Structure 1
Amino acid sequence: MQEAATGLLARVPPGTNVTDLLLARHRQDPQQALFAVKKDGVWTDVSAAELLGQVSALAKGLIAAGIRPGERIAVMSRTRYEWTLVDLAGWFAGAVVVPIYETSSAHQVRWILQDSGAAAVFAEDAAREAVVREAMEQLPAPLPVYRMSGADPDLAALGAAGAGVPDGELERVRSLATLADPASLVYTSGTTGRPKGCIITHGNFAELALNTAEFLPGILKEPGARSLMFLPLAHVLARAVQVICLAAGVKMGHTASMGELIEDLASYRPTFLLVVPRVFEKVYATARQKAQAEGRGRIFDAAAAAAIGWSRACDARDRGTGPGPGLVLRARHALFDRLVYGRLRAVFGGEVRYTVSGASALSPKLAHFFSGIGVPVLEGYGLTETTAPAAVNPPGANRIGTVGLPLPGTTIRIAPDGEVLIRGIGITPGYFHNDEANREAFTGGFFRTGDLGALDEDGYLTITGRKKDLLVTAGGKNVAPGPLEDALREHQLIAQAVVVGEGRPFVAALLGLDPEPLAAWLAAAGRPPLDLDDAAGDPAVLAELQRAVDEANLQVSRAEQIRKFAVLRRELTEESGHLTPSLKLKRSQVAEDFAADVDRLYR
């Protein structure tokens, strides 16, 4: 199949915008809890009426501060309830909201403020405010900065300052924007070159939200549905999901610190979660390492095999290619459910019925593992330019290994060279003030994703790699690095894997160690800790990594297998400049910084 499409399930009335989603929810039930805020360890619900009152007050403050419809306001903050307030209040005031990752440098912040023409900035705390003020030193004029939290936050004062703005004026500016008008400028994460401001319209958010709610009722319309957001709201995926939850009436909570995540999952008990693959990889590796340290490694591995086998058997049954789990597998699965799986489900809060994985590829093995333990994984696909979700696996029709069906109002086409092209309600109208990028990004009304993929006979999309990431060895063999890298990252010691081999005689890899699992692995062997420099040359570590490479090589042909690897002596992180804020690998930067390591592999 070369093209698949899903028709619209809901239509957004003309003359409305994304703010009408909150108003509609308020009209339906003013007392419905739409958010929960953690205060002193206790989750306190925020009703639709309370939310609307807080948003309206802050929006009036923005109007009183001189923000005009169409002007841009920037937000630099971790994921928290105040982020949501500023986002919604900005839209109610007619503004265009510009997210900035909380980890951004002053140089990155300066570019976004300058390129977007921001009129004001909201900074989470004193530390982010300091970065913003440093960034503004080279701007033509300083911008007003409002602190969102800390000892003396500005949000309450800003809301109080807007008390004199009439309700009629707020309603006038709120209703000015049409579905075609910008709601946000989301800057691409910059895996290649300088970030571009991607225009996300009111229609992109609103139409996607209403149609996704209708497409996934088993997740979003279940009584008592609630989710905990811990991914950065600066990422369009998290933000789009939050708007979807608002449209569907799903109660949302926020976790600003990953250090608090486990505690918050246990107390909030979400029914579904938005997760990136690295979270699954870390949970699996940590659980396996803990089991090995406690002398239960064989039990864990047997339980993992049973979970994966169970999920694969169920997947085959659902596709009509198998009978489902057999008697012996059912018995083993039931046994391990009592011994192992329940404790793993508790990590996610104990009540998660579904997880949605996005942002990057998840290995089928891990998807089967988590689905098999009772934490079903529905993988989806999208980009900033598609307002995140463009395809997803629906509950009851999940096909692990694929990223699902086109969302309603979306058409996916496979170009002759294998590139995935997308047209639909979530597609950006273009990049802000960047005609050259716009010309390159579209063809015949379709957005060029840069990803390679295939559609099966039922319209399920499988992503096979990136056009720019494909390696061509000296022997002419095309190699997609993604599957090998995904398999390598499943190992507890490996945080990052970078497959290389462009124009070289064979495929090789750079491996980055994960310090915490490394320390635990060494301790389990009765050995003292090693820093990354020493570990990179340690015979036992190298032997363990070779086993990981050998296992990954089983998934590909001989010509695609990794022949040699090098261990990096420092971490690949966002701070080091090798990962984007959404944890995507900056291949060009890695290739530049570790060119000597690559050259040594081929001497």
Structure 2
Amino acid sequence: MAGIIDEFGIGSIPALLRARVRQTPEREALRFRDGAGWSSLTWAEVGTRVRELALGLISLGVGAGRTAAILSGTRVEWLLADLGVLATGAATTTIYPSSTADECAFVLADSASTVVFAEDEGQVAKLRSVREKITDVTKVVVIDGSASDDDWVLTLDDVAVLGRALDAADPGAYDRASGAVTADQLATLIYTSGTTGRPKGVELTHDNWLYTVSAIDSMDLMRADDLHLLWLPMSHVFGKAIEVAMIASGATTAVDGEVDRIAANLAELRPTVLGAAPRIFEKIYNTVLATVRAEGGVKLGLFRWARGVGLRHAANRREGRASPLPLRAQFAVADKLVFAKLRERFGGRVRCFVSGSAPLSPEIGEFFDAAGLLILEGYGLTESSAASFVSRQGEVRFGTVGKPLPGTEVRIAEDGEVLIKGRGVMRGYRGLPEATAEALADGWLHTGDIGELDERGRLRITDRKKELIKTSGGKYVAPQSVEGRIKAACPYVANVLVHGDRRNFCVALVTLDPDLVAKWAGARGLSTDNAELTPNAELRALVQEGIDAANAGLAKHETVKAFAILKDDFTVERGELTPSLKLRRRVIERHYAELLDGFYDGMIEKV
């Protein structure tokens, strides 16, 4: 069945929204936090809100060829503001709310954004501190806050009032502006997190997004009757792709960007589909594992038995084999006693998860699949509009990211780099023709990732091209793979960095999950302060146990020979993580250079 994009020949996101409003005006579109409860908007109400904001922005000079920015966490107003900007013919610049004032200034100046939506007074203050550097910004629109006396800051309601006034004076203004938007126009500017060098503004057109969403729609990942929980950062390409997919499918989306409410929201809302980063699945898995380990005895034995049964049964299913009758009987018991309770934590209605933005550990994927909670892993870059590969139901092989989306081509270069071609690929980097030419050499997007295709055309990413470790013995190690194994094997680990480039063996820096470690320490009457816990011999033995389990499946040159537990986790604020929570390896290695050198100088005892 043709999706709405193909059926109506839609060529822009504003046209997609208008078609959705015409098709299902009274269906619930967005659900959002309103105090302690939830409120919602129908598609018709979304259309009205977007119309008002778009016309208000036009009154402020926003339109075709211009850019407006959003500096906010994930909330319903983010979506409405973005759709309002696009309906004027302008493009949206996304900025992470965790960005520093100087980072905001760079993005706003480079993008030439004229209006900025700011979440609250704190973000407004950040912008005021660099006002002399952002001379293109004529207005700031605060979502939670008040207008300023100097007329630089307006409220969201102020913009809507301007929009209603323009609508009354010129009823055809909205249709003219939104109807003039074409497929090749710039829709979104997303700045790469800049693991090295200056951030680059990735230019994504309406056609980039419509291609990606149309391809996803053909795979039946999101349906009209789905309830989707959106918590992903909208400043990230993954969240933006889901926004457009939500409109195309007509699914209801509950929006709440507070990460610490995810577990409660899952139980309360009972969603059917959820996009998430691997860290969410790791956190849930490790919480379950730490809980049963703490309880010990019969419960721990039951969990281990059920996990083993579930893994064998799920492996048979994935390979198209029928499990033997005794195994099927065992699985029925395991499902009733263990897995059904886990599914209830997610509301009991999840049809599938979609994982993206970082590699998913195969061990985590296999466990969730055994529990009847399928995770479909996707892969793509900001430069390829988020999704270039997605695992298909019935063809899942954990450790791969599936086949290319329909219409996307893939080639593996001689050095193992993954190359991509298709309509999802960016038009270029803003103002950087040389960087654009390098990234799009020979018409292929050079991803910087190393990978391989299996016999069915499914892609396995092994590591980043520039992050491969080459030991002093000339052997290559893919650190992401090793780190994923360690995190899957030890529930108390939050982050791991494997180090060993030009060294004679690999070592690791380990950080602890504060919630799980606090629970573990509290049960033993110990201090919950990380600084006091890191030297604890019993806790260190638990981490060693996880590293030993990970090492058991690795080649000798890949194994981690020693590790240190850090007192603090890596943070975005110290530059050790990107805003999407990926490791900035060079920064971390620089911060802990003395500690790392100590492993090889004999200053730290080998473990």
TM-score normalised by the chain length of structure 2: 0.93
Deviation string 1:311-362 (CA, Å, 9 cap, x unpaired) is: 2222222xxxxx2333333223222222222222122222111000111111
CA distance in structure 2 between the aligned counterparts of 1:326 and 1:42, rounded to whole angstroms: 48
Deviation at 1:521, TM superposition (A): 1.9
Which residue of 2 is the match for residue 226 of structure 1?
Answer: 227
Cα pair 2:88 2:177 within 8 Å, conserved? yes
Alignment of 1:433-512 (within 5 A): 433-490=431-488, 491-512=490-511
Which residue of 1 is the match for residue 185 of structure 2?
Answer: 181
Which residue of 1 is the match for residue 150 of structure 2?
Answer: none
Deviation string 1:345-398 (CA, Å, 9 cap, x unpaired) is: 122222111000111111111101111111101111011001101000122222
Which residue of 1 is the match for residue 155 of structure 2?
Answer: 154
Deviation at 1:573, TM superposition (A): 1.8
Cα pair 1:97 1:185 within 8 Å, conserved? yes
Return the structure number with greater relative CO, CA threshold 8 A, min gap 6: 1
Q: Unaligned stretches of 5+ in structure 1?
A: 1-7, 318-322
Deviation string 1:410-460 (CA, Å, 9 cap, x unpaired) is: 111111111000011110011000112112211211100000111122211
CA distance in structure 2 between the aligned counterparts of 1:379 and 1:147, rounded to whole angstroms: 36
CA distance in structure 2 between the aligned counterparts of 1:518 and 1:137, rounded to whole angstroms: 46
Alignment of 1:136-215 (within 5 A): 136-140=131-135, 143-150=138-145, 154-165=155-166, 166-215=170-219
CA distance in structure 2 between the aligned counterparts of 1:60 and 1:105, rounded to whole angstroms: 31
Deviation string 1:513-559 (CA, Å, 9 cap, x unpaired) is: 222211222233x2412533333322222222111111110121112
> Cα gap change, 1:15/1:514 in structure 2, threshold over 3 Å: closer, same or farther?
closer
1:380 aligns with 2:372: no
CA distance in structure 1 between the aligned counterparts of 2:240 and 2:464, rounded to whole angstroms: 24
Cα pair 1:34 1:47 within 8 Å, conserved? yes
Once superposed, what is the RMSD of the aligned Cα atoms?
2.0
Alignment of 1:578-597 (within 5 A): 578-597=576-595
Shifted more, 509-518 versus 279-288: the winner is 509-518
Deviation at 1:150, TM superposition (A): 4.8
1:91 aligned to 82, 86, 104, which one? Answer: 86
CA distance in structure 2 between the aligned counterparts of 1:508 and 1:259, rounded to whole angstroms: 32
The one-letter code of the counterpart of 1:251 is T
Deviation at 1:467, TM superposition (A): 0.7
1:300 aligns with 2:303: yes
Deviation at 1:173, TM superposition (A): 1.9
Cα pair 1:307 1:368 within 8 Å, conserved? no
Q: Unaligned stretches of 5+ in structure 2?
A: 148-153, 602-607
CA distance in structure 2 between the aligned counterparts of 1:578 and 1:307, rounded to whole angstroms: 37
Which residue of 2 is the match for residue 519 of structure 1?
Answer: 518
1:117 aligned to 112, 117, 125, which one? Answer: 112
Which residue of 2 is the match for residue 129 of structure 1?
Answer: 124
The one-letter code of the counterpart of 2:89 is G
> Cα gap change, 1:336/1:292 in structure 2, threshold over 3 Å: closer, same or farther?
same
Cα pair 1:308 1:365 within 8 Å, conserved? no
CA distance in structure 2 between the aligned counterparts of 1:364 and 1:146, rounded to whole angstroms: 44
1:314 aligns with 2:313: no
3-state SS of the aligned residue for 1:495? Answer: strand
Cα pair 1:12 1:207 within 8 Å, conserved? no
CA distance in structure 2 between the aligned counterparts of 1:556 and 1:13, rounded to whole angstroms: 52
1:22 aligned to 17, 25, 30, which one? Answer: 17
Which residue of 2 is the match for residue 272 of structure 1?
Answer: 273
The sequence identity of aligned pairs, in percent, is 37
CA distance in structure 1 between the aligned counterparts of 2:90 and 2:137, rounded to whole angstroms: 19
TM-score normalised by the chain length of structure 1: 0.94
Cα pair 1:35 1:253 within 8 Å, conserved? yes
Which stretches of structure 1, 4 residues or more, deviate above 4 A after TM superposition? Answer: 8-15, 150-153
Which residue of 1 is the match for residue 46 of structure 2?
Answer: 51
Shifted more, 359-368 versus 485-494: the winner is 485-494
Cα pair 1:511 1:565 within 8 Å, conserved? yes
Which residue of 2 is the match for residue 320 of structure 1?
Answer: none
Cα pair 2:188 2:204 within 8 Å, conserved? yes
Shifted more, 550-559 versus 263-272: the winner is 263-272
Which residue of 2 is the match for residue 260 of structure 1?
Answer: 261
Deviation string 1:440-489 (CA, Å, 9 cap, x unpaired) is: 21121110000011112221111111111111101000111111100111
> Cα gap change, 1:530/1:259 in structure 2, threshold over 3 Å: closer, same or farther?
closer
> Cα gap change, 1:301/1:132 in structure 2, threshold over 3 Å: closer, same or farther?
farther
> Cα gap change, 1:142/1:53 in structure 2, threshold over 3 Å: closer, same or farther?
closer
Deviation at 1:560, TM superposition (A): 1.4
Deviation at 1:135, TM superposition (A): 3.1
Cα pair 2:290 2:492 within 8 Å, conserved? no
The one-letter code of the counterpart of 2:212 is L
> Cα gap change, 1:151/1:133 in structure 2, threshold over 3 Å: closer, same or farther?
closer
Deviation at 1:253, TM superposition (A): 1.2
CA distance in structure 1 between the aligned counterparts of 2:4 and 2:145, rounded to whole angstroms: 43
Cα pair 2:486 2:550 within 8 Å, conserved? yes
